[in-house]
Structure 1
Amino acid sequence: MSRRHWIDDWRPEDATFWEETGAKTARRNLIWSIFSEHLGFSVWLIWSVSSAFLVAQGFEFTPSQLFFLIALPNLIGSLLRVPYTLAVPKFGGRNWTMASAGLLLVPTLGFAYAVTQPSTPYWAFCLIAATAGLGGGNFASSMSNINFFYPSAKKGAALGLNAAGGNVGVALIQFLLPVIVGGAGIFGLVKASEGGIHLERAAFVYAGLAVLGVIAAYFFMDNLTDAKSSPKEQLSVVKSKQTWIMSFLYIGTFGSFIGYSAAMPLLIKLNFWVPEPAPLGTGIYFAYFAFLGALIGSATRPLGGWLADRWGGAKVTLGAFIGMVVFTLAVLWTLMQLTPNPDATPAIAFDNQSWFPVFLGFFMLVFASTGIGNGSTYKMIPAIFRREAELATTPGTAEREAALAGATKKSSAAVGIIGAVGAIGGFFIPIAFNSPWVTNPLDATKSAFIAFTIFYAICALVTFAVYLRPQRARVGELADVRI
């Protein structure tokens, strides 16, 4: 095996090494890691906005079927995050980035075929949508890889940037797909295609970008020899209660981000828009606004990492959950002002649209809070395992150095486990918005937001009780070092 792209000597905690060699190499790998993860997120969420166009392209699916279609990639993507994390130490970060980018050809080409065949059955759409989960796995392997490259003092910002670059793929696919496929212009400034909707165009664009991702990783990324570890060593983190506490919190932050991002186009369409009169219908056209939440959540993620580096991850995470409680209640209040529109009546859609700016504003604040929480929680993960290693060893000893190296490997493995559990929230949120036990779609949406508010309040209490309360046991000691 060629050693050209393998780095045997990597010491990011050595200030001299970092300034002379490490920073430049880490930055280069970070840039291309962001690119690959960005593509993964775009493919992962390609169904979130395309599902709203399937009916226009002639497929007769119910709202329930469409919500399940956008939820399915989130479920598969969350499950794939564990093996994707294990793949980085097994094959090398560069090598696995090439492989994971290449795998994106499966969901993109499958998508292109399905949407051009009017006879494609619903079960086939579900199967192809499930393969989009391959893009969701990219996040875990990318974050695990970048965690090895940066010193502990810079992990919050680096992981925040890496994650934000991926997360913004959600916003970009939701912004560009309607334009690429001819379903809408850009805020009405660019005219929609007169030749009808062609969803396959978006799939071919991202298939081409996936090939570019493989080539870029081949030429510009590296593998770290020190990142090697066995699956048994990595999976030892499942025995740590910290892994599961952080997984629970990450359901609240990232699960909300990805779930809301996936559901937002259909939420707007069902509550604020009807298709008559054609072509743009009455009310708020979902394609113009669907991307905004993901964009804001992505932009605030590095801010959350930066704030956590400065003030401590636990404090920032608590603040994020408090914000999510307050702003989710505000969104719920806005929905209470709407008139149910089960028959898709233009007059009702017209009346409801006056509340849309308020709804959108509060919802954007929810997204901003999820982004900050995503950044701060991922700062907490390496800090927790590093502090545990410090508490168990003596400064200046070989045992301490070995423990710190082991802590980095554990935190990288934990990133995958926590990311997998957290992403499951992205499956349940779209399902909750289409609760089968609630007849009216608007009532289902309200009940879902009530449940989410309660969950965020529990997350805030857990964050305070475990990491910030005055009477601390060992876990509490970790709060003293700005987790």
Structure 2
Amino acid sequence: MTITTPQPGGGSTWLPDWRPEDQAFWESQGKARAWTTLILTTAALTMAFITWFLVSALVVRLPQIGFQFSPSQLFWLAAMPGLAGGTLRLVHMFLVPIYGTRHVVSLSTLSLLIPLTGWFYAVQNPATPFWVLMLLAFLAGLGGGNFSSFMPSTSMFFPKRLQGTALAIQAGIGNFGVSVVQFVTPWVIGFALLGGMAWIGEPQTMTRAGVDSQIYLQNAPLVMIPFVAVFGITAWLFLKSIPITSNFREQFDIFRSGNTWAQTSIYIMTFGGFSGLSATFPLLIRQVYGGFEGAPDPLAWAFWGPLVGSASRVVAGPVADRLGGARVTHWAGLGMLVSAFLVTLTLAPTSLDSFGLFVSAMLALFFFAGIGNASTFKQMPMLFPPRQAGGVIGFTAAIAAYGPFIFGMLFAWSFGAFQSAAPVFYGLIVFFAFNVVLNWVLYARKNAPFPC
């Protein structure tokens, strides 16, 4: 880690000094700057998650407006943002120590305008080729990549005693973007925006349960575009970068620690589970319960999962600060394990009678995943010094961001081979059990070698 002074010509970007562990410095100027940065970057991160999960809200409507895609193709579309998000996070994890918070947050936020504009046009034409939608789905992953630069940046702005709370607030509110896009989409597509001006496009005819209605699916990306533009410009105008820098090569030292790999596995359980199920929950409802008369609208239910998980992440941050991240992760993992088992009891329904238990078990799974997301991000800053902690947060977040891609592929395989989602959840039960034991042995038990 290198403490630097502002570079020539960079006075508007780099702060001259940053010492959050110094109480006098924190109270006099650090606290205000840190919380301001948290607010601005959290707003931008929320838009990143909205963009990242936009495809999950659109994909269930595509067959209803004339797109001729198989279930496997739909799961591929839902999975593609996860592939991009995880890959781009592997890049983002290195950016803040090189370019600084201001440049990374503002420019990466403005980049979200590319997929949003693309989806605005693509959904208006059912003849849009599948490969074009796959490309746009991949570009939606730009939003997923942002997490691995925004979160390490935040961890550097706060003292260790507050990092669990700050990271939980940022990630939890950012995660609300998943619920926002899945909740807003069914509502906003139901009417013409701005009085039906010509440039907004024509409505599409949606056929659902034999009933035709007119919708504007392009409204879903359109309403997000001005918010992205405003937040990106605001970040450029008001954010500063802290003088903690490192080159690309120096940041690879995190991979020499076994804790990096253990924390990665645990975070795959928590955030990988959250993000993967958030992206596939609408399609899962459609595939498992969509064949019954009076079947539920997937988007009327799917947004509750990420909403519950995001809320529990915000609440669990201060709890992890008080009780310790490892202990909270332990109980969160056990909760995820039990919830996944309950889900398996509802995946071969003969009627809609088991839908209530299915949704309840899924919401419990999201709830405990959200708690685990917060507690694991409390563990990492306790195990590593600030610059390395930022790198570990970025790396674990990058790998876990493959959740939507992995889950999409697993469900596509499972339905194709077994006509059921049960094999996926059986595998999750085994994986959750492994990580509960790993966390207990290394971090949570009495006399653990790395208590955190």
Q: TM-score, normalised by structure 1?
A: 0.85
User: Structure 2 residue aligned with 1:25, among 33, 43, 58?
Assistant: 33
Matched, 1:273 2:273: no
Secondary structure at the residue paired with 2:249? Answer: helix
Matches within 5 A, 1:411-430: 411-430=389-408
In structure 2, what is the equivalent of residue 122 of structure 1?
Answer: 130
Superposed CA offset, 1:239-292 (max 9, x none): 2211111111111000000010001111111222349xxxxx722111211100
Q: Distance in 2 between matches of 1:269 and 1:118?
A: 21
User: Structure 1 residue aligned with 2:322, among 310, 315, 328?
Assistant: 310
2:369 counterpart letter in structure 1: T
In structure 1, what is the equivalent of residue 177 of structure 2?
Answer: 169
Q: CA deviation at 1:426?
A: 2.6
Matched, 1:287 2:268: no
Matched, 1:408 2:386: yes
Q: Distance in 2 between matches of 1:95 and 1:471?
A: 43
Matched, 1:370 2:369: yes
In structure 2, what is the equivalent of residue 216 of structure 1?
Answer: 234
User: Structure 1 residue aligned with 2:413, among 432, 435, 443?
Assistant: 435
Q: Distance in 2 between matches of 1:83 and 1:429?
A: 22
Superposed CA offset, 1:198-243 (max 9, x none): 2221112222221111111022221112x21111121221222111
- The answer to whether the Cα contact below 8 Å between 1:257 and 1:367 also exists between their aligned partners in 2 is yes
- CA RMSD across the alignment: 1.8
2:308 counterpart letter in structure 1: I
Matches within 5 A, 1:183-222: 196-222=214-240
Quick check: 327-336 or 75-84, which moved more?
327-336
- The answer to whether the Cα contact below 8 Å between 1:252 and 1:425 also exists between their aligned partners in 2 is no
Q: Distance in 1 between matches of 2:47 and 2:371?
A: 22
Q: Distance in 2 between matches of 1:138 and 1:423?
A: 11
In structure 2, what is the equivalent of residue 356 of structure 1?
Answer: 355
Q: Distance in 2 between matches of 1:471 and 1:261?
A: 36
Q: CA deviation at 1:40?
A: 0.4
Superposed CA offset, 1:71-126 (max 9, x none): 11111101111211211111110111111011101111111122123321111111
In structure 1, what is the equivalent of residue 199 of structure 2?
Answer: none
- The answer to whether the Cα contact below 8 Å between 1:297 and 1:370 also exists between their aligned partners in 2 is yes
User: Structure 2 residue aligned with 1:148, among 142, 156, 159?
Assistant: 156
Q: Which runs of 5+ in 1 are unaligned?
A: 184-191, 276-280, 340-350, 386-406
Q: Distance in 2 between matches of 1:312 and 1:249?
A: 15
1:244 counterpart letter in structure 2: W
Q: Distance in 2 between matches of 1:195 and 1:4?
A: 52
User: Structure 1 residue aligned with 2:92, among 84, 87, 95?
Assistant: 84
Secondary structure at the residue paired with 1:222? Answer: coil
Q: CA deviation at 1:411?
A: 0.7
Q: Distance in 1 between matches of 2:417 and 2:393?
A: 39
User: Structure 1 residue aligned with 2:254, among 232, 237, 241?
Assistant: 237
| Alpha carbons of structure 1 residues 302 and 436: separation in structure 2 relative to 1, 3 Å | closer
2:367 counterpart letter in structure 1: A
Q: Distance in 1 between matches of 2:397 and 2:417?
A: 33
1:111 counterpart letter in structure 2: W
Matches within 5 A, 1:2-13: 2-13=10-21
In structure 1, what is the equivalent of residue 266 of structure 2?
Answer: 249
- The answer to whether the Cα contact below 8 Å between 1:263 and 1:430 also exists between their aligned partners in 2 is yes
| Alpha carbons of structure 1 residues 466 and 265: separation in structure 2 relative to 1, 3 Å | same
Q: Distance in 2 between matches of 1:81 and 1:434?
A: 24
In structure 2, what is the equivalent of residue 64 of structure 1?
Answer: 72
| Alpha carbons of structure 1 residues 437 and 168: separation in structure 2 relative to 1, 3 Å | closer
- State the identity %: 35
Q: Distance in 2 between matches of 1:332 and 1:285?
A: 21
In structure 2, what is the equivalent of residue 334 of structure 1?
Answer: 346
Superposed CA offset, 1:433-482 (max 9, x none): 222574453x2x1111111111101110111122234465xxx1x31xxx
- State how many pairs are aligned: 426
1:247 counterpart letter in structure 2: T
Q: CA deviation at 1:144?
A: 1.0
In structure 2, what is the equivalent of residue 396 of structure 1?
Answer: none
In structure 2, what is the equivalent of residue 188 of structure 1?
Answer: none
2:431 counterpart letter in structure 1: F
Q: CA deviation at 1:428?
A: 1.2
Q: Distance in 2 between matches of 1:110 and 1:335?
A: 36
User: Structure 1 residue aligned with 2:60, among 38, 52, 56?
Assistant: 52
Q: TM-score, normalised by structure 2?
A: 0.91
Q: CA deviation at 1:18?
A: 1.2
2:412 counterpart letter in structure 1: N
| Alpha carbons of structure 1 residues 165 and 471: separation in structure 2 relative to 1, 3 Å | closer
User: Structure 1 residue aligned with 2:46, among 38, 48, 53?
Assistant: 38
User: Structure 1 residue aligned with 2:114, among 93, 103, 106?
Assistant: 106
- The answer to whether the Cα contact below 8 Å between 1:249 and 1:422 also exists between their aligned partners in 2 is no
